[in-house]
Chain A
């Protein structure tokens, strides 16, 4: 059997049956990180019409191991996965969960995220390891804005992309946030607002950078036979893929193109039997305004250097031909630190038709792509409301 045949065997063999966030999102000094996990999981399992005691596969990334989440939930899972490669880990875990469900390693999988990114309640302190501590921190490098700007200035140099164009990504995303009652920042903004906001790290003002919030999110998956008994319309995982290239940006072959993203997208598209233009809705990990355009280029949805045109020409906005980041994104809805669970939740809601004023009409296939680190790792999903 060829590798391609094996990939196709994993298409549509499991579905997302439950999604939800924590009870609240934003600035939550009264809630621990672990509580955000438990809120999200209990909410998502209720959304599925299942019970916590049905869950036998636990997937989580970040500071808490799946054993900690299982213990906090009072269950004894028979399958666990703690793959932690950055914020896209939850997107990657959808694929891991599909494979585990398909092979009967578990029957109901839950992917859990909780992060007290803003209030830092119940969070263990970070310590630099050999590479960042030795070769990056002495020069002032550290948090993501001090890294992703390098990718961005190189892209501007190579393709002539401008600050005004990046700003359009923030403006488009905020238009979607205005339609989402759960979004933290909903007031309209203009390109000039973005350009004139507080400079943080050139080329970014604060409005080019994601929020920092406290929140949780969870996704529940099972096989189609079991999904007959769940509460909502199942969303099929038609394709998935993952990849990693580097951690330190000095090891990234081309700062303007994510090889990890390309690998993850190529695998997901082949598994799903779709091409990069077969989507009516796209969710991309927007930690910075320059991220989604570069992801579109790396996925082959846009030509090299032209990803930002999706945002500057009105395609990505409400009423546009290819809505992108319809929850308001990490830029305006919520961003805890490891944002990757939230685009899965939004794509599922769109495919169920639950999104009210921000509902994308006629959506049947949605693309979810996220990065870990600085385009270092990537996960891609092709989700559909039809098997």
Chain B
């Protein structure tokens, strides 16, 4: 299948457990071993207590649509997902927010509502790269 979107580039060392997890259809999140803060995006010090004891947990993959947009054009020639498409900020049940796409939904503002429940679906792009996308919980 043709890759319809830009591959993540660069993939940085501190995010390796995240990308490794996605290959196994797991959404992994960094968690501070000292204060318990679950955060996004991966980094080498906790953004809350600033200790360097970072571990990883598997997310439930559940969350809510915190905010959304509908793209009526592509802004990157490598992004070939058919328009219109839904750009999403998801707030995960574990707390952090991440950016993704909302799929398996009609890209119509009347069908989308902030705080609607969503769940992760995994989209394999290459042997190395699987992305977490989200869909409405049915």
Residues from chain A with a CB closer than 8 A to the CB of B8 are 133-135, 137-138
Q: Is the pair B68, A140 in contact by a Cβ cutoff of 8 Å?
A: no
Q: Is the pair B9, A128 in contact by a Cβ cutoff of 8 Å?
A: yes
Q: Can you show 24 pairs from A to B with CB atoms below 8 A apart?
A: A130-B10, A130-B12, A133-B9, A138-B131, A139-B131, A139-B133, A140-B75, A140-B76, A140-B87, A141-B87, A141-B99, A143-B75, A153-B68, A157-B113, A157-B114, A199-B70, A201-B72, A202-B70, A203-B69, A248-B41, A249-B89, A250-B41, A250-B89, A255-B89
CB distance from A150 to the nearest CB of B (A): 4
Q: Mark B100-138, 1 if CB is under 8 A from A, else 0.
A: 110000000100011100000000000000010100000
The tally of residues in A whose CB lies under 8 Å from a CB in B reads: 34
Determine whether B34 belongs to the interface, using a CB cutoff of 8 Å to chain A. no
Residues from chain A with a CB closer than 8 A to the CB of B6 are 137-138
Q: Is the pair B99, A250 in contact by a Cβ cutoff of 8 Å?
A: yes
Give CA–CA (A139, B7) in the complex, Å: 9
Given A140-B74, A203-B109, A153–B131 Cβ distance below 8 Å? Answer: no
CB distance from A29 to the nearest CB of B (A): 21
The tally of residues in B whose CB lies under 8 Å from a CB in A reads: 41
Given A140-B87, A202-B72, A250–B67 Cβ distance below 8 Å? Answer: no
Q: Mark A138-154, 1 if CB is under 8 A from B, else 0.
A: 11111101100111011
Other than A143-B75, A250-B99, give 7 A-B pairs with Cβ distance below 8 A: A129-B10, A135-B41, A137-B6, A137-B8, A140-B75, A157-B115, A199-B72
Determine whether A131 belongs to the interface, using a CB cutoff of 8 Å to chain B. yes
Give CA–CA (A201, B74) in the complex, Å: 10
Determine whether B37 belongs to the interface, using a CB cutoff of 8 Å to chain A. no
Residues from chain B with a CB closer than 8 A to the CB of A142 are 75-76, 79
- Of A131, A139, A151, A198, chain B has the most CB atoms within 10 Å of the CB of A139
Q: Is the pair A153, B76 in contact by a Cβ cutoff of 8 Å?
A: no
Q: Is the pair B5, A153 in contact by a Cβ cutoff of 8 Å?
A: no
Given A140-B85, A153-B114, A146–B69 Cβ distance below 8 Å? Answer: yes
Mark out the residues of chain B between 1 and 55 whose CB falls within 8 Å of any chain A CB in the assembled complex: 5-12, 15, 40-41
Give CA–CA (A146, B6) in the complex, Å: 15
